[in-house]
Amino acid sequence: MRPLDPDGPLRDNPRADLLLSSETRTSLEDHAMQILTEATQRMSSSTAALFSVLRSVNRSCDPASGIYPIEIKDICNSLRKGGIPNLIGTIMERLQVFEDNAVDDCDELLEQVATLRKYLEHVDPDDDETSWALDNLKTMGRVNEGATEPYHMLPFAMMDDVSLICGDEESKADSDDKTRKASTSTGKPVDFLHIINGKEYGQGMSTRRGFLDRDFLASIKVSTAQIKAHKDYLSNIFPPAMSSVLNELLMDVAVPFYQVYLGTIRFYLVFNVGSELYILHEWGRVSLPNGNVSTCLNMAEIFLISRHIMLRSADAVNKAEERLRNERNNVSGLEGIEFSLRKYVSWTTPTEVGRSPIPLEGIQLTLKERSSATKPAKTVQAQYLMWGYGSL
């Protein structure tokens, strides 16, 4: 991103200072790390064992002694000839070479070989995740600077109710956007249609930015569209009085995407912290794979974590729906409560000379419980400040 680009992933975005305290920003960073930690812990023992063995074998290789690393082409050839069992056999042969070349006083190396053999026993040829990881490991050797299409960046295929269709004129929103901005557009717009549960959440964009910037912004748009779709769905199953509960639950619905930029692949996480406020967290950055197994392993592992973030988000939506339904059913006398909403706008105090105050939209919620034969009427008012027009 260009320096001081307001739409770029700036670590010290001045808008964040206006909207969030340092304590809140630290809390959000901790929340992002919790999402990543939980996604990492979902990795199967089979995949973790295979990655550990491959890394250890390549760290211990010594071409001067006739012990060469396992290259991507070796992995691809083994998989093509006999799948994962054949790959395990190839690694076992390499470990045997380690033993054969060990000198008498290399007890440490022999102990390491024995440990790696035990790790290989945990590699399950029928484990779906291990197969998925190896497919991505092969793909990592072909990722290059040109792999920046946003439709290839987002792992929406992981979720059954989500589809992403790309191409000219695919999105009604995109078509309207191009019509509206035809006079200002100098570059080819991004065309996509994002569908969840049969409803279109596609957002097109017409840009004067460079191609890489366009992909970055388009990915954010698609990511936030997915979160909005889940929020719209959940909003239909519970009363407005539970909006604060919904906002809390939606913080666990995170969407990952990546961007190829200047020889590196950067990984981002988008999650919602209010009405229209989204946090963009950069959680990984690796150099483009050069055919070396170690770099490809790093890439494949990060993509695997991205996959688990998506699966974790799907679980979070299901858990949110279950909790909201339970809480709605547990509200005593809910059928006897009237709701009324009134929107209001407050203004933040500028923190810097020359900066304009930021409007923040809020909702005042009034709950009026009807009187009955056993208890009088009761009215409770509450104000919810919705994270308004600003965004990170």
Which residue type occupies 25? R
pLDDT at 82: 86
pLDDT at 120: 87
What Å distances lie between residue 345 and 69, 342, 358, 361, 382, CA to CA?
63, 10, 10, 5, 15
pLDDT at 171: 44
pLDDT at 201: 45
Please state, in angstroms and rounded to a whole number, the distance separating the CA atoms of residues 256 and 104: 50
Domain boundaries, the chain: 45-126, 145-287+310-330, 334-385
Helices (H), the chain: 14-19, 22-41, 45-60, 72-101, 107-120, 128-140, 150-153, 172-180, 211-235, 243-250, 293-330
pLDDT at 374: 58
Structure tokens at 51: 């990655």
Sign of the dihedral through C-alpha 339, 340, 345, 346:
negative
pLDDT at 116: 84
pLDDT at 231: 78
Q: What is the mean pLDDT of each run of 10 residues along the chain (392 residues)?
A: 38 56 79 87 88 81 67 81 87 81 67 83 88 75 47 39 43 47 42 46 38 58 73 72 74 78 77 77 76 76 81 80 70 42 41 42 44 53 33 24
Please state, in angstroms and rounded to a whole number, the distance separating the CA atoms of residues 326 and 329: 5
